[in-house]
Amino acid sequence: MDKIFLQSEMANPLVSICMPAYNAALYIDDAINSVLAQSYQNFELIIVNDGSTDETAAHTTRFKDKRIKTFITENRGQCAAANFAFSKSSGRFIKFMDADDLISPGFIQAQVELISDNDNFIASAKWGRFYHNDIKTFKLNPESVWRDMKPIDWLVESLAEGPNMMQCALWLIPRPVLQNSGLWDESLSLINDFEFFIRVLLCAEKIKFAENAILYYRSGMNDSLSKQKSKKALYSGYHSTRRGCEHLLNYENSERTRRICADLYKVWHFECYPVLREESLTLLQLSEALGGSRRKFECGGFTKLLNFFIGWKWTKRLKHFASR
């Protein structure tokens, strides 16, 4: 009986989809329906309502599918909600998914077929953006890393031009990999996925690319976590950048990883100024200690004009003052 069970589990493993949700009433129906529409049906969807103040709870309770499990917690942030969802999961494979994104109907099946025989492999996928709730605006965002790769090579190539997409729903992760890497850092909010997925990917043997899996990433929302620039959010970006780069350098301290980390430190040196001046200076020093970076302050429109005449520091000071 045990042998039969193990064969069945290998062929049709349970997938746990962990979905934190905060004030997601406008979008969560679509996200849930994209999960229910999967060609692969052996899944559980664990939704953690992270203290929402809108109608999120009313929307999630409309779905009567027994595979959907919903929990309501006090508001502790996306990372804590994701960790809580994982604690309630029982699948051999784990997918973290935001409550405002969509996945193609064959997404999970394509990923399971690639890694069902190996708990040291992680599956990746294609992705693209759509704007202002209009799926007709969707366009794929092709990347050179859309292929089977070693995790360290994937990270080096993906980050070669600066911070890149590591959105949580892209990945299907075997439970043993997460048990080795550890879960989400609950002290982080902004770019929490940067530190997390560097840590997770480096605990895997290989990344397998699912050609027929597509993530539809919702963009253009003014209240999204990625648009936060509060002092708390910038602290999170600062710490996530430092920890992520430390993971990378601890795994491989080479010319290519030092160059990437020097660039990432420089990017966040600009980002933190003037709100976190001490941290901004620390990031510049870290960048220079790794050989320095040629990265410039990136801007466009009127900001680019200001930068030309008064320099990036005064430009950021004026923008910060205007936003207060």
138-193 pLDDT, tens digit per residue, is 999 999 999 999 999 999 999 998 888 899 999 999 999 999 999 999 999 999 99
Confidence band, pLDDT 50/70/90 cuts, at residue 202:
very high
Left, alpha or beta for 23 (phi > 0: left; psi -120 to 50: alpha)?
Answer: left
Tell me if 263 sits within 8 A of 295, measured CB to CB.
Answer: yes
pLDDT for 8 beyond 70 = no
At residue 69, the pLDDT reads: 98
User: How many CA atoms, within 13 angstroms, populate the side-chain half-sphere of residue 234?
Assistant: 18
Please tell me whether the peptide bond between 20 and the residue prior to it is cis, using omega within 30 degrees of 0. no
> How many percent of the chain have pLDDT more than 90?
90
Rounded to an integer, the average pLDDT of 290-305 is 95
Predicted confidence (pLDDT) at residue 222 exceeds the cutoff of 60: no
Provide the sign of the torsion angle of the four alpha carbons 98, 84, 47, 119, taken in this order. Answer: positive
User: What is each CA distance from 296 to 127, 268, 310, 312, in whole angstroms?
Assistant: 27, 11, 15, 9
What local confidence, expressed as pLDDT, does residue 227 receive? 52
What pLDDT, on the 0 to 100 scale, is given for residue 187?
Answer: 97
- For residue 11, pLDDT beyond 80: no
Pair type for strands 102-103 and 68-73 = unpaired
Q: Higher confidence at residue 226 or residue 179?
A: 179
Phi, psi of 39 (to 5 degrees): -70, -30
Indicate whether 228 pLDDT > 60. Answer: no
Query: Is the separation of the CB atoms in 45 and 122 below 8 Å?
Result: no
pLDDT tier for residue 3 given thresholds of 50, 70 and 90: very low
What's the pLDDT at 7?
47
204 pLDDT above the threshold of 80: yes
Give tens-digit pLDDT for 240-262.
999 999 999 999 999 999 999 99
Give the relative orientation of helices 277-289 and 231-251 as an angle to the nearest 10 degrees: 20
Partners of 18 in beta bridges: 46, 96
The Cα diameter of the chain in Å comes to 75
- For 55-92, the pLDDT digits (tens) are 999 999 999 999 999 999 999 999 999 999 999 999 99
